Amino acid sequence: MPKETAVYTHGHHESVLRSHTWRTAANSAAYLLGSLKPHMKILDIGCGPGTITADLAALVPEGHVTGVDQAAGILDQARATAAERGLTNVDFATADVHALDYPDDTFCVVHAHQVLQHVGDPVQALREMRRVTKPTGFIAVRDSDYAAMTWYPPSPDMDDWLDLYRRVARANGGEPDAGRRLKSWALEAGFDAADINSSSSTWCYATPEEIDWWSGLWADRTRASAYAERATESGHARPGQLEEVSEAWREWGKQPDAWFSVLHGEILCRKTDREGAAS
């Protein structure tokens, strides 16, 4: 496939949206929030069902937020999310992060959460994000790192899940261990090292309610989502493996000492006149 394209591994099955609609600016973009000002104009790339987008719009009441996603079908849900919250300073459109249909120097902040792990050319995506950002503005990116996910108690079948997911994601043109690569990609995209603030944060699921929710959505996603279809059709999953992995998620989720942590890499880049070696 062309380098600029990639298949969104998860799709928008209910089990996926169960996770996406849980996300908020507080639990998914905390590293950015201190840089926001009420007047800012924000582009939220890969907005999905719009929960983070709506939060950002509420935080810039004198500004405006545009949420974009490559999948047009999910935007109706994003619009409904904004309408339910009574937000009037937000709009939504389809877009490809590799070639954004906006003029240079348009936005104060360009934000992307869990996007670069799914695109064919994350460096080109960062260049486009920088292009449409105003001078002195911010490019904010956060991505999980699958190889760094960790849990207890151990489970061989969940080890199989992690190995399988990473193979399927890479076959689709993505990079599931994107979190650790964000700084490197930003440097390659032309950002000066002095303009890149790198950090990390986690989602941690530990209470019985959190574990039940997290294990349940992955058990369902493993059997019924677009990821399940792609794992089977591509031949990466052997016969019966998805059922085994789904059941392993459910059994793990019943353990009283179950604990799961998702590591995310983050970059908050400032657009300045400095140029890196790759610009």
DSSP 106: -
When the pLDDT of each residue in the chain is averaged and rounded to a whole number, the result is 93
Give the pTM.
Answer: 0.94
Q: Residue 153: is the preceding peptide bond cis (ω within 30°)?
A: yes
State what percent of residues in the chain have pLDDT above 70: 96
Question: What are the φ and ψ backbone dihedral angles of 12, each rounded to 5 degrees?
Answer: -125, 40
7-21, 77-91, 115-129, 187-201: segment of lowest average pLDDT? 7-21
Q: How high is the pLDDT of residue 270?
A: 98
Which whole number is the average pLDDT over 210-238? 89
Model confidence pLDDT, tens digit, residues 141-163: 999 999 999 999 999 999 999 99
pLDDT digits (tens, 9 = 90+) for 88-107: 999 999 999 999 999 999 99
Is residue 265 helix, strand or coil? strand
Per-residue confidence band for 279, with pLDDT thresholds at 50, 70 and 90: very low
What pLDDT is attached to residue 275? Answer: 60
**pLDDT tens digits for 42-68?**
999 999 999 999 999 999 999 999 999
Q: What does the pLDDT average to over 136-145?
A: 98
Per-residue model confidence (pLDDT) at position 255? 97
124 CB-side CA count, 13 A: 13
pLDDT at 71 over 50: yes
Residue type, 43: L
Task: Name the residue among 194, 119, 52 with its Cα closest to residue 127.
Answer: 119
Q: What is the pLDDT of residue 5?
A: 57
| Most distant CA pair in the chain, distance | 55
Lowest-pLDDT range, 1-5, 217-221, 237-241? Answer: 1-5
pLDDT digit string (tens) for 3-31? 555 677 777 778 778 888 899 999 999 99
Higher-pLDDT residue of 8 and 72 is: 72
